Amino acid sequence: MSGAQITVFWEAKAEVRSSPPPLSSLYIDPAGMGDGAHLTLMFDSKMPLPEQTAIADRVLAGVQRWRDGIAEKADRERTAEKELAAAREEIARLKGELTEGGGE
């Protein structure tokens, strides 16, 4: 089975909506407010609810891993920025000591 791949970019006003059974749909609009491409995921009405739940759990786990990866990268960047700022302060302090000591 082959499928189409569509790439869209998230925007700040992205929307995600869902509806419970019997529709059990998930609507994802990366641009928000119907401004561009969107994706609607639905289950066949004949699919048993436990099977729908299992699939939704796999989707949720995948999205959670994706989100956690983004958050971890943001934390690493924030830590690197803090360490760089601290190093710059230490360099400035040491230069100040060198300048003060060199004038005697």
Average pLDDT over residues 34-51: 89
- Confidence band for 22, pLDDT divided at 50, 70 and 90: confident
Q: How far apart are CA 91 and CA 83, in angstroms?
A: 12
Q: What does the CA dihedral 38, 10, 72, 17 come to, rounded to 10 degrees?
A: -40
Residue whose C-alpha is closest to residue 93's, from 79, 85, 9: 85
pLDDT at 82: 92
Please tell me which residue, 3 or 61, carries the higher pLDDT value. 61
